[in-house]
Structure 1
Amino acid sequence: MSLLRSARFPAIVLLAAAILAVVLANSPLGPAIASVKDAYVGIPGVFEMSVGHWVQDGLLAVFFFIVAVELQYELTNGELNSARKALQPAIAAAGGVIVPIGVFLLFAARSDAVDGWPIPTATDIAFALGVLAVFGRGLPSGIRIFLLALAILDDIVGIVFIAVLFTEDVNVGLLALAAVVVIVFGFLSRRLDTRAQVPIAIVLGVLAIATWVLVYLSGVHATIAGVALGLAMAQRPALRTRHELEPWVNGIVLPLFAFSAALVVIPSVSPSQLSPAFWGILVALPVGKVIGISLAGWISLRVGNRGATPHLSFADLLAAGALGGIGFTVSLLLSELAFSGDPLLRDEATLGVLGGSMISILLAAVLVAQRARHYRRSESASPSDEMPPPAATEGQIA
């Protein structure tokens, strides 16, 4: 289990699952696997979904629960619990959302792919931290803190996009009932330290399932149920629950989703015949994220309070921008949602996410490794362990 809680291994599993899916989808086994994904499972005539939707709407809600628990902690006790701490990553995150949208629209503004503009705005925190763990030995903790805050803020944007843009014909009554259940869930979670811990935990499980069903039936994307529950749960039991769920999410939920989403057939066409959705995402993830995060982050160094942390150089921000371009999980979900009615566009958008994320992974590996070497050399050359590395001075451009 400890291996699945590490930063490196889950990222490797996630990438392997996506590569395996693309290979199998383009093999003789492809049609059979696709038929399994499209098969309906559930209670006939009462509640049925395809296997793919059980993964996308059901299992992925658990992932969003974990994201929401981490978000709750960071907003109350972590690196986003004050405006001063949140200012720099918030400005950088804004640049990392706005610029990729602009890049995407340069390719797709006048095409039927324009609805895919939210896709390149996401950052896959598990993947980004995995690359940081593999190539970032010697980096100061400030870079990881900045990246974590940046990715969490990106997750907030992604959650808002999912909740607002991909919701149709909302049943307000069912949504209100789901809100009531969430409130009861949050209240009972504060009683988990009593002697009735086991019965309360069982009731909480039932309430969580009820919330998911009500949100799904209301017309709002079901993963929002996981977000609501994660934010409502009392922090101590929420963190314990996150700890217990993390290996299962890293080892089963995310690889299954990556495998399901990446089951796409590579079009047998020339590059010029590929959709603007493909090219827009392919460029917007690595290029838009690097430009948006690094420039907005550099601006934030000029407008932020003196003494605000973390202290980053422009070269550090370039590395963070490359890491931010690893869209993967949430970008794949946004591709599924944005082009749910057009399988061809959806598949090309998925290929764009995979290609853009791979480019970002390679670019991030180079930039992170270079910055890590820089800091290791600076530390070895420093006459005192208490002296900060020269490149970490606030506002300095390396």
Structure 2
Amino acid sequence: MEKSLSNYPNLPFVTVTVCAPGTSTCDTIDHVLLDTGSTGLRVLASKLSSTTLAGMSREQLSSGYYIDECSQFVSGYTWGSVRLADVELGSETASSVPIEVIADSAAGSAPSSCASAGTNMGTVSQLGAYGILGVQGQIRDCGQSCASTALPLYYACSSGSGCSTESAVPLTQQVTNPVSMLTNDNNGIVLSMPSVSDSGQASATGTLYLGVGTQSDNTLTSLSTIALDANFEFTATYGGTANQYSFIDSGTNFLYFQDSSLTQCTGTYSGYYCPSSVQTESVTFAPNSGASSSSGSYTGTFKVGNVNTLLSSSGVYAFNDIGVYGLVEDGLDFGMPFFYGRYVVITNESSSGAGDASAAFGSNGA
């Protein structure tokens, strides 16, 4: 964790190198948001040099039509072209990965069916980052649904810009989790974040390990593992209520859950929690029906502080206890505050499809 590009707290950043396939023409991009709630690499076109971008060919359907994408997030959408790139993560390279180039002028403007998704996140100020690295565990960002059906996610056009026709897109041409295309260490990730003060702190430095159980540094013991369903969700039981559409999401700044017993803020931070002292809450995770395994569970705690007090401090960007009253898509959203002081392990789905990914949790003792 470090200072956000747009003063948003709790944004975990990594550095990614993007190259024109098969060449040494590359751009190293910092401040790329690490997101366990989405799949695939997306970078702002403005962070790519003209030579690198020119060497990244646009994906085309067998008909010759160009492919563009409308990626939808809780806070809005991104629109851009789908291009091939070699992606360097640490010392490893994934070759010819389909990525989204956000706000690529070659893709033109987003069609109305995409723009209706909310705020256009195609700028640094709106995105709060130079790109997004989605490591959810899903290999393709839409999967079989988009391979067989035209949905308002992928679009195709013959002219190269102004795409407005929704289109099905083969799996291999969909935006892809680069980790899954590494030669080694391609079965998932381990994210280790240190504990932070309940009053927040200026920054926090964690480690992203590539692969799960493939090297000595990504092999962990004493973890609690749960299977994720086809939507990469699980049931989170909190306050006696089982929320079966819950998920972990490092790309979300805060914790989203409902608890009427906790004091809520008024005024500027209406809708956030403002208890008089820091509260420690307990939650239990368990697999949903449809996951590859019905066994396994995890019981952990999270903290809830007073947002009025926490956000009154300048220069503080890492918070472990900011909560919002509400659900995201009918589930509890365990955003970045939940990651502090934990190892979080995401194991990718197999090539056969979703429903066999998993998540695991443990204390990192830091």
Does the pair score TM above 0.5? no
Provide the TM-score with structure 1 as the length reference: 0.23
> Which protein is richer in helix relative to its size?
1
> Which protein is richer in strand relative to its size?
2
Provide the TM-score with structure 2 as the length reference: 0.24
